[in-house]
Amino acid sequence: MTSPSDLDTTFTSHAPGYWPESAMEKWSDHKWQLRNRIDSLADLEARINLSDEERAGVLLAGTKLAMAITPHFFNLIDKDDPNCPIRRQVIPRIEEGWTAPEELADPCGEDSHMPVPGLVHRYPDRVLFLVTDRCASYCRYCTRSRVVSGVGEQQLETQWEAAFKYLEEHTEVRDVLLSGGDPLLFSDAKLDKILTRLRAIPHIQFLRIGSRIPIFLPQRITPELCAMLKKHHPLFISIHSNHPKELTSEVQDGLVRLAEAGIPMGNQSVLLRGVNDSPEVQKALVHKLLMCRVRPYYLYQCDLITGSSHLRTSVAEGVNIIENLRGHTTGYAIPQFVIDGPGGGGKIPINPNYVVDSSEGKVTLRNYEGGIFDYPDPTRIPEGEMKALQEKAICKTC
């Protein structure tokens, strides 16, 4: 059930929250935030009331995907509500230990499209460059839980020089997306070096970074970082926010700083049960994103990640959300609902069915209110009338 706090559209700070006032002296230091992440059962139990399912999940977490939560993000958690939409995203639950028959270790088929370790080439003109296996905090529905955090089934072993050589040789590649893990965890100097190397390849037209750092660790979005990124335009950043509560005043400041550096941003949400699976929460989220100068880009059906059945919704719920946004808010606020085809099929757009009937000469459509409209196919100009128009035009020049 949606609570009033789920629909809050104000931008506020939650600091110091679970931390003492003395912590505010270092609160804006992203390195302090990383050093003080919540990463153990003792840390959790000292601050919030865990359910039995969560306690068991934390004990099992080290065998699949590590737990780590930045103080900034942890402050958004309701300490007494196990159904809090923030804690469902980052605190492990016992359900993660069960694998449904349809679930896959590599649901997007990245390993089978990896010509060089760390480089995924699934689409004709663009590649995914996995540059790190670490994040500021770890989402329990992580698509790459097999390699992220250092405790998964595999190790990410990116071969940097081989990857750059592949990109230099494959002139069809015009777009490179840096992801992982989270590239913005790198120092400014290291990230600058990677972007500079990619910019030196003539046929690469633009670069993208996928990051949840602006949400988990907004303190990282410094003026110095933005000045460095600005050197590498055209550069785009895809952020990842799932719930309006995540968009605090600190997050807004960081996102606006990136926008002022000329970086276009899109948001990628994952549809999650008990987190954002209602039209009301989604509308509050997309409205706050626009106020942060971020365009809602994708709403993903949750991938078939091992141990994710308790977080996945039906596809119909995603379609219903789009149905309740289209026509009911500005078009800029409406993301594209997509499913990543299991096993490597790529992003497949899913939309409500607005075509009622299609026959020769016309298409029958319905609008967001249920109104029915016929749209006729173009009528060809009869040959005789075309000739008359030509003669009329000639007469005008006489």
- What pLDDT, in 10s, does the model give residues 120-174? 999 999 999 999 999 999 999 999 999 999 887 799 999 999 999 999 999 999 9
Q: 360 and 345 in one domain?
A: no
Quote the CA–CA distance of 352 and 354 in Å, as a whole number: 6
User: Is residue 100 in some structural domain?
Assistant: no
Q: Which entry of 6, 88, 108, 139 is annotated as an active-site residue?
A: 139
The separation between CA 180 and the C-alpha centre of its own chain, rounded to angstroms, equals 13
Q: 26 and 46 in one domain?
A: yes
Percent of the chain clearing pLDDT 70 (strictly above): 99
Q: 334 and 212 in one domain?
A: yes
DSSP lists the bridge partners of residue 69 as: 38
Q: 170 and 141 in one domain?
A: yes
- Known active-site residue 126: yes
- Known active-site residue 122: yes
- Known active-site residue 362: no
For every residue of 107-126, which 3-state class applies, written as one string?
CCCCHHHCCECCEEEEECCE
Q: 64 and 123 in one domain?
A: no
User: Is residue 106 in some structural domain?
Assistant: no
Quote the CA–CA distance of 393 and 371 in Å, as a whole number: 42
- Known active-site residue 347: yes
Are the beta carbons of 255 and 228 closer than 8 angstroms? no
Position 277 scores a pLDDT of 98
Q: Which entry of 93, 126, 245, 288 is annotated as an active-site residue?
A: 126
- Known active-site residue 245: no
Position 8 scores a pLDDT of 78
- pLDDT tens-digit readout, 283-330: 999 999 999 999 999 999 999 999 999 999 999 999 999 999 999 999
Q: Which entry of 37, 144, 208, 283 is annotated as an active-site residue?
A: 144
Gap between the terminal Cα atoms of the chain: 75
Q: 319 and 180 in one domain?
A: yes
Q: 366 and 337 in one domain?
A: no
Query: Domain holding 307: CATH number?
Result: 3.20.20.70
User: Is residue 256 in some structural domain?
Assistant: yes
Q: Which entry of 84, 108, 142, 292 is annotated as an active-site residue?
A: 142
Position 15 scores a pLDDT of 97
Where among 42, 63, 95 does a domain terminate? 95
User: Is residue 105 in some structural domain?
Assistant: no
- Known active-site residue 392: no
- Known active-site residue 326: no
User: Is residue 51 in some structural domain?
Assistant: yes
Position 151 scores a pLDDT of 86
Whether 397 has a pLDDT exceeding 90, the answer reads no
Q: Which entry of 6, 43, 133, 303 is annotated as an active-site residue?
A: 303
Edge-first strand order for the sheet with 295-301 is: 119-123, 126-130, 175-179, 206-210, 235-239, 265-271, 295-301, 336-341, 346-349
Which helix (H) or strand (E) covers residue 176, if one does? strand 175-179
pLDDT, mean over the chain: 96
Q: 303 and 378 in one domain?
A: no
> What is the residue range of 340's domain?
111-349
Where among 38, 61, 95 does a domain terminate? 95
In total, how many domains does the chain have?
A: 3
- pLDDT tens-digit readout, 200-249: 999 999 999 999 999 999 999 999 999 999 999 999 999 999 999 999 99
User: Is residue 153 in some structural domain?
Assistant: yes
**Which residue type, as a one-letter code, is found at position 335?**
P
List CB contacts of 185: < 8 A, sequence separation 6 or more: 132, 134, 135, 136, 213, 220
User: Is residue 158 in some structural domain?
Assistant: yes
